[in-house]
Amino acid sequence: MSVSVRVLASVREVAPAAWDALVAGDSPFLEWQWLAALEEGQSVGERTGWLPQHLTLWEGDRLLGACPLYVKAHSHGEFVFDHAWASAAHRAGIDYYPKLLVGVPFTPVTGPRFLAAPADLPRVRDLLAGVLEELCREQQFSSVHVNFCRPPDVEALTGRGWLHRVGYQYQWRNEGFRTFDDYLASLRAKRRNQVRRERRALAEQGVEIRALVGADVPADAAPLAYKLYRATVDSNPWGQRYLTRRVFELVFERWRDRLCLVLARRGGEVVAGTVNVQKGDVLYGRYWGAFEDLRFLHFNVCYYAAIEHCVGAGLTRFEPGAGGEFKHLRGFDATPTHSVHWIRDKRFRAAVHDYLRREREAVADQIEWYGEKTSRKRDDAPDGDED
């Protein structure tokens, strides 16, 4: 049977079960409910510079494959920063926008970017990559970017001449810890004592922290979660309200089984919290906020409570999101992230190719340096008070 291509202006044009069958046990942020909430809540759309144009492949009435695709009028909310590329293109007289992006809006989480059953994936990925290249040529897009993809996507697309970019995030892995003290024992004594002091200091301020998962998350907690989210983005000069209140309402109404809500209370009143997402054996840190400026509140709510939850629930990995070198000191390892890029203009492509080669070398050195520090941290004199 022949394969046809359809471009969807919304993920809601396909049945949820059909889309999620392609996602299966993978990243929750590729699931129909999450992508639909972003659309229905008007966080993505032409007005926001994120125009959905999802690519789908069909064999008759069967959804064979798909990729979440957006026409971008800017580079905000991607977490693979190409603002310097846009500036260089402008200086060279090249229109960088609009461009195409395969990924999940506002979500720096690695996952498959070409969705298909395992047996169909190589064919689906090759077909969709060809469609993306042709869209760039025919409709004069400057480029197409596949962000936070996995090594098999990198290998397949670089084989077609796409450019490979490497970054890194800090991620925590459960090394068979059965208690929070087991986690602490993996740190150097100085860091271990620091964590204990930070947890004790928060308790002395009368703050109690609790993690609520799935059905235990209050159905009416969406306004509180949105208020916490706004407390962070509105207080930071670089903060942007990518998500609307309606997105939070839809997520808490329809996707509550995926949520892990960590709340810190003092005197019965919520002073801080973080919205996390949980699927399988992985916890994803997402949105943090605080109503009071209490010492060590951020570390306790965002990291220690999450690690304690992971240990208690038997989760193997915690991805707290982008940024934050301080995470390394608390047992988070530098972990590579990948993206691939197809650029239409040959001159511009050559310049980016040279830049990425040098950047990959620098990132590899940085990850190796962090890895050496991690090894020393876990192997050297665990009971000594080290720097």
Beta carbons within 10 angstroms of residue 331's beta carbon: 25
pLDDT digits (tens, 9 = 90+) for 177-225: 999 999 999 999 999 999 999 999 999 999 999 999 999 999 899 999 9
pLDDT digits (tens, 9 = 90+) for 120-148: 999 999 999 999 999 999 999 999 999 99
**Residue partners of 83: CB distance under 8 A and separation at least 6:** 75
Of 107, 93, 112, 100, whose CA–CA distance to 152 is shortest?
A: 112
Q: What's the pLDDT at 377?
A: 55
Say whether pTM exceeds 0.75. yes
Domain edges within the chain: 3-168+335-371, 175-315
**Position 291 pLDDT exceeds 60:** yes
**Position 382 pLDDT exceeds 60:** no
pLDDT digits (tens, 9 = 90+) for 7-28: 999 999 999 999 999 999 999 9
At the top level of CATH, which class does the domain 175-315 belong to? alpha beta
Residues 248-267 have a mean pLDDT of 97
Q: Which CATH number fits domain 3-168+335-371: 3.90.550.10, 3.20.20.110, 3.30.1360.30, 3.40.630.30?
A: 3.40.630.30
**Position 319 pLDDT exceeds 50:** yes
> Do 175-315 and 3-168+335-371 have the same topology in CATH?
yes
Q: What's the pLDDT at 44?
A: 98
Contact yes or no for 57/127 (Cβ under 8 A): yes
With a pLDDT cut of 70, the percent of the chain lying above it is: 96
Strands, sheet with 54-59, edge to edge from the N-terminal-most edge strand: 3-8, 54-59, 62-67, 115-116
pLDDT digits (tens, 9 = 90+) for 79-98: 999 999 999 999 999 999 99
Q: Give the pLDDT band of residue 235 (cuts 50, 70, 90).
A: confident
